[in-house]
Structure 1
């Protein structure tokens, strides 16, 4: 695949990025796509490796290995190298409904599973994927696909995040009439409000939504099923329902001072920042940290997005706390190839913070003990203690190190420590059973205990990646289609 000796002749390059000190002055995407020639050369690095692992979509010890949607990576790498862009696009769209999303925000477990990654930097798969889909739109190759026939069956999808959109796309192309209900003012869910504009320009999301509308999908926004519309009304009107509302319940801190003003969940902060950007007005949604000290609690991608957002709002300082040790520079034993490697990386936000403040904003092995309030009840500081990770035969735990307590100045604190699952109210109205704060599946992979109701995405599997949500959406569509066919046969 690609050029047989390409991996020996060419070095990996990453897409060019805008200067960090310049890009924090706006909300535009921070990186540029490959040029045609850059993509061709990087595709040439794809080896004729015999048994490629990049598209396997497995999990090893809880870590992703290869592409969860089984992208035909070696095939479209070869086609890009040969300049057959339209053929490469067709191959890409066979498995991925929304490459313009994954090509920008996916952490690319496919690259960790690249055979070349055993000894060298992997093929730049994610960036090549983005180039293919961007070129497809640029050349006008992507047009509305209007289903040739309709089955007469109606499907309601609750939630317009990546799982809901993927399910809707698949079911619509199967000929079913699909309506998506979204509680917010714009469709897209996590893609619209959970991921900042500098990582995923909202015009990209809106372009896809327009295309889905042109293909026959109906979107109903500002409508929360179970609140705006009773669940019973949806159940009576549609032949099948897919719940794809995500893992919305954010994990909280149970510490003294948590009730201080100026303390927010990360997703609330990111949502408000994007709403302010899109609405272009200084309304009640805005949380402005200009000239303020910011603490982000949580060392993951969402926490990094909070750092980047605070920088663009002009914060005075920003620190990100993580409870885990600093990852190693090389692949550790617990994530062996072809699993996604748990190694130290510098995210876009961390590079920006280092450029502005002269140091990486991340602090490792930190436990937050207390949020300190001023006399008016607003946060003024955060008390922490350093820890060490202790490994035992039974597992691991964190031990506090005496004498390492420290108070950090803070005007705003954002909690980004993950999600515990979903809220139960909607499930209770439908009579759908839950298990471990997620939808309980009783048959197949996605069918709940209520006839005709399915669940997919984070609401079923828990907090995960956009690419896993797309996979879930594609797979639940197959089960719904089969259910609708069986229902039609029984009526006959």
Structure 2
């Protein structure tokens, strides 16, 4: 333990962010950073619990509790307190291939299950994690470590998101020759096209990709397996195939007026903006612009929040984010949402903070059901009709929505962005290989084993589990690599 009374002596602190009204003028990351002394103080708040729930990595009540990659959090908190940064980095890399990603975009379920949070404020785990890896890069400690011996086995990884990159990194470490196929023009999957630059600047992703390439991994872009290359060809050319293509099939809405001009899927909106920004700093105009428009975002999750932030940077006239869920309480409900579950409490994410600073209020509207889209005589969206609802859950876990009479409302809208999640993976490669799917259309493969119904084909990440967190994708990529190594060699030393 750093100091037995640290959690009582020091208050939880977070680095300040750039001013919301300033940061919406650009596309850079918005967090500022702590000094080494401030991080040391925050590390001192860690209790080094006898049973540290922060790194348990469980799923409780439908959400993550603790760190899914089982980061050794108390150990590197203590090392930071002692000023042993290099040792802290080594400890962090033992469990997490890409802490520079999770330190920026993970919602930090570790903090939700921190023991200090039982009666006070949790340790600032995520901030310390990012600081460790950023210092590692700044000091030149993060360098390529290619394997000394190759096994002669060849593995194809389909998809270069966090699951695919983690799989490739671990298998390469074991000495296998790994080729990663990506259908987009850049490596990174949703880390590049899916997460805005404000949360994760793309040079951070490319820096890690360059390291993996220097360690011997081959990356192939602009190549979709099942279309550009038949899936059977991979089966013939490689000793094992790992599918990490994600859950990229967007969930649609069955609402009158869906085909009006101005109604878009969220990922089309986000990806177009990100690609245009990376290609030309938005000068090519190849994206859906929200400039001077009334924007409605349907969906209360992270993707919807990213749409709000993007619309603000486009210069929208107004932005509102609909959610079917009720407004969360200000404090954790100890009966329905007890520790160490992730706390369901009211907070302002970065985009809502920005919208409030610009327009004067939280842009979210809670317990709202969209009834129809209405257009003008030219087929362009002009308004959206809603009603307030009460949401309950029946004994089977199914959500029931009851409309509240007299709460109908009409909202002016020039653009609607549908951000209500995903319906599993796309089926091209699944059908070509004849893979079994579960009831949610994901590739059927058991957690911890990752073998599909077809010999030498494995699946990991969102393609196997459905839409989830980056940190779960890294967890599954690491574990799938272990099982592939065991399959190829009969035994494994991968964690």
Q: Structure 2 length normalisation: TM-score?
A: 0.96
1:470 maps onto 2:471 in alignment: no
Distance 1:470 1:443 in 2: 13
Could you say which residue in structure 1 is the equivalent of 2:347? 345
Could you say which residue in structure 1 is the equivalent of 2:489? 485
Aligned-residue offset at 1:391: 5.7
1:441 maps onto 2:445 in alignment: yes
The question of whether the paired residues in 1 share the 8 Å contact of 2:276 and 2:285 is answered with no
User: Over the residues paired in the alignment, what is the CA RMSD in angstroms?
Assistant: 1.5
The question of whether the paired residues in 2 share the 8 Å contact of 1:423 and 1:437 is answered with no
The question of whether the paired residues in 2 share the 8 Å contact of 1:265 and 1:415 is answered with yes
Distance 1:173 1:394 in 2: 44
The 5-angstrom pairing of residues 51-130 of structure 1 reads: 51-130=51-130
1:310 maps onto 2:311 in alignment: yes
3-state secondary structure, aligned to 1:450:
coil
The question of whether the paired residues in 1 share the 8 Å contact of 2:370 and 2:387 is answered with yes
Distance 2:249 2:33 in 1: 34
The question of whether the paired residues in 2 share the 8 Å contact of 1:2 and 1:74 is answered with no
The question of whether the paired residues in 2 share the 8 Å contact of 1:295 and 1:318 is answered with yes
Could you say which residue in structure 2 is the equivalent of 1:414? 417
1:459 maps onto 2:463 in alignment: yes
Aligned-residue offset at 1:431: 1.8
3-state secondary structure, aligned to 2:340:
coil
How many residues are treated as equivalent by the alignment? 488
Could you say which residue in structure 2 is the equivalent of 1:367? 369
Distance 1:122 1:445 in 2: 34
The question of whether the paired residues in 2 share the 8 Å contact of 1:12 and 1:123 is answered with yes
Could you say which residue in structure 2 is the equivalent of 1:321? 322
Q: 1:354 aligns with which of 345, 353, 356?
A: 356
Could you say which residue in structure 2 is the equivalent of 1:376? 378
**Per the alignment, do residues 201 and 441 of structure 1 end up closer, same or farther by CA in structure 2, a change over 3 Å counting?**
same
1:181 maps onto 2:184 in alignment: no
Distance 1:285 1:208 in 2: 28
1:138 maps onto 2:138 in alignment: yes
The question of whether the paired residues in 2 share the 8 Å contact of 1:241 and 1:453 is answered with yes
What residue ranges of structure 2 are gaps of 5+ in the alignment? none
Distance 2:431 2:395 in 1: 41
Offset from partner CA, 1:234-254 (integer Å, 9 cap, x none): 111111000000000111100
The question of whether the paired residues in 2 share the 8 Å contact of 1:439 and 1:460 is answered with yes
Could you say which residue in structure 2 is the equivalent of 1:238? 238
Q: Structure 1 length normalisation: TM-score?
A: 0.97
Which range moves more in the overlay, 398-407 or 472-481? 398-407
Which range moves more in the overlay, 46-55 or 106-115? 46-55
The 5-angstrom pairing of residues 277-296 of structure 1 reads: 277-280=277-280, 282-283=283-284, 285-296=286-297
Distance 2:446 2:271 in 1: 34
Aligned-residue offset at 1:445: 2.5
The question of whether the paired residues in 2 share the 8 Å contact of 1:33 and 1:130 is answered with no
The question of whether the paired residues in 2 share the 8 Å contact of 1:320 and 1:362 is answered with yes
Distance 2:30 2:322 in 1: 24
Aligned-residue offset at 1:482: 0.7
Distance 2:489 2:259 in 1: 52
Distance 1:343 1:57 in 2: 20
Offset from partner CA, 1:10-54 (integer Å, 9 cap, x none): 111112100000000000001112221111110011014322110
Offset from partner CA, 1:89-113 (integer Å, 9 cap, x none): 0000000000000000000000011
